[in-house]
Amino acid sequence: MSRRTPIESQRVDAPLTQSATFLVLSVTEQPDAIKTARSALASVDDLCKNVSIRDLDASFACTVGIGSALWDRLLSDVPRPVELHPFPKIEGKVHTAVSTPGDLLFHIRAQRRDLCFEFERQLMDVLGESVKVIDSTVGFRYFDVRDLLGFVDGTANPVGAAVNESVLVTEADDSHSAGGSYVVVQKYVHDLAAWQRLSTEQQEAVIGRRKFDNVELADQEDDGKQKPHKQLATIEDPHTGAELSILRDNMPFGNAGQGEFGTYFIGYSSKLWVIEQMLERMFVGSPPGLHDRILDYSRALTGTTFFVPSATVLAGLGDD
Ligand code: HEM
């Protein structure tokens, strides 16, 4: 495939919105499935325009990720991103990060639920029989950007120029995948009743921030106790010691009537190993054995890794 220049990225950096749909699909083995999927992916940009024009203030955006198992089937003419591999199952002493299948991820965002719904409807129409739905989760914004555990979620995200630095693969990292991004998703359900039995101070010690005003607590020394979530999820560059950020757009989801209370975790990074190291520190612990106590109240039902190619690569799929 010939590459058009300059490389244009997908809207990984789209703003936080009131609504989101996380759609994970598998591509079937039907004879025309790959052809249909390629042409649907090439038309995603047009579908986005179809929907976003209906309300230009609604910040509609959709990013598309491609799973490791599908890459060679779908994009045999595009070199694999160097770090792309399936989500590794991570087994700690107490908690396990499961690895679950997924060929395509659509992260659909807008201020309005109806726009997300409409995009998904038009998308499923063009994908037709070429795909099967593995999971479709609808997330909503909860009060002042809080998760269902009651804490403000997303504070430490990079902003401004740091966003692209954190999430986009550079020419120097991997020239064929420049402008793309790795993305990891995990669907967590919470034991909200057990969480609510903790005092606010105990919850704050688990997260590492104050609940009411979001102020960061001091890092904990290596004193043999479990570290807070925000400390376990802080990764430094082994050479420079600089902190390596990822971009998260977690969304609450759930159904109170059915006792379902969840957080859909989504993290974008230019380096997959950074997210994997965060997961290792959460599930295995740092030091090993002292896992992230957020997991005592949150169970991961899924875990899947994708690569978000540049918009230029996606559009090129229509050149067949
Ligand atoms: C920080 C919630 C899972 C990575 C935070 C914060 C909250 C939170 C409330 C503090 C405020 C902030 O900076 O956003 C949750 C919940 C999760 C979850 C409810 C799922 C049950 C994860 C996972 C990862 C992760 C799976 C990575 C693989 C981070 C990072 C930070 C963070 C990088 C910022 C740390 C810093 O202060 O530098 N999370 N999180 N989180 N979380 Fe999570």
Q: What pLDDT is attached to residue 59? A: 97
Ligand 1 atom 35: residue of nearest CA: 230
Predicted confidence (pLDDT) at residue 222 exceeds the cutoff of 90? no
Task: Give residue 5's pLDDT.
Answer: 55
Task: Please give the average per-residue pLDDT across 147-173, as a whole number.
Answer: 97
pLDDT of residue 320: 67
Identify the pLDDT of residue 2.
45
Give percent of the chain with pLDDT exceeding 70: 98
User: pLDDT higher for 103 or 221?
Assistant: 103
Q: Is the pLDDT of residue 44 over 70?
A: yes
Which atom of ligand 1 has the smallest separation from the CA of 245?
33
ipTM of the prediction:
0.99
Q: Whose CA is nearest to atom 22 of ligand 1?
A: 265
Which residues does a 6 A CB cutoff place in the pocket of ligand 1? 147, 149, 151-156, 186, 188, 207, 209, 229-230, 233-234, 246, 263, 265, 267, 275, 278-279, 294, 298
pLDDT at residue number 4: 45
Of 200, 265, 302, which is best to mutate to test ligand 1, by the most ligand atoms within 8 angstroms of its C-beta? Answer: 265
Which residue in the block uniquely carries the two structure tokens 């249909």? 36
Distance 96 CA to ligand 1 centre (A): 17
In the chain, where are the structural domains located?
A: 19-319
Span from the CA of 156 to the centroid of ligand 1 (angstroms): 8
Is 153 one of the catalytic residues?
A: yes
DSSP letters of 158-223?
Answer: --THHHHHHHSPPTTT-GGGTT-EEEEEEEEEE-HHHHHTS-HHHHHHHHTB-TTT-PBPPPPPSS
| Cβ within 8 Å of residue 103, ≥6 positions away | 25, 26, 27, 66, 67, 69, 70, 74, 131
Q: Tell me which of 283 and 5 has the higher pLDDT.
A: 283
Q: Which residues contact 120 (CB under 8 A, 6 or more apart)?
A: 21, 23, 106, 108, 136
157 C-alpha vs ligand 1 centroid, how far in Å? 9
Ligand 1, pocket-test mutation among 153, 183, 203, 266, most atoms within 8 A of CB: 153
The mean per-residue pLDDT over the stretch 245-258 comes to 98
Q: Which two tokens stand for residue 291?
A: 């896992």
Residue whose Cα lies nearest atom 30 of ligand 1: it is: 233
pLDDT in tens, 73-94: 999 999 999 999 999 999 999 9
CA geometry: angle at 192 spanning 188 and 195, to 5°? 105
Of the residues 103, 135, 147, 153, only one is catalytic, namely 153
Judge contact between 266 and 22, C-beta under 8 A: yes
Q: Which residue has its alpha carbon closest to ligand 1 atom 32?
A: 230
| 228-239: pLDDT as tens digits | 999 999 999 999
Give mean pLDDT, residues 174-189: 98
Ligand 1, atom 1, residue with closest C-alpha: 230
How high does pLDDT run on average in the chain? 96
Inter-residue contact 227 to 290 (CB < 8 Å) = yes
Examine the pLDDT at 3 and tell me if it is beyond 60.
no
- Closest-CA residue, ligand 1 atom 8, reads 153
CA of 55 to the centre of ligand 1 (A): 31
- Asked if pLDDT for residue 6 goes beyond 50, the answer is yes
Of residues 114, 8, 107, the one with CA closest to residue 62: 107
* Cα 171 to middle of ligand 1, angstroms: 29
Q: Closest Cα to residue 181, out of 266, 241, 302, 120?
A: 266
Expressed in angstroms and rounded, the spacing between residue 27 Cα and the centre of ligand 1 is 31
The tens digit of pLDDT for each residue in 11-38 reads: 999 999 999 999 999 999 999 999 999 9
**pLDDT band at residue 280 using 50, 70 and 90 as cut-offs:** very high
Of residues 6 and 254, the one with the higher pLDDT is: 254
> Residue 276 CA: which ligand 1 atom is closest?
28
Look at the block and give the residue holding tokens 């609510």: 196
- Residues 132-146: what's their mean pLDDT? 98
Strand boundaries in 54-119, DSSP class E:
61-67, 90-91, 96-97, 104-110
Ligand 1: centre distance to CA 265 (Å): 9
Contact 255, 287 (CB under 8 A): no
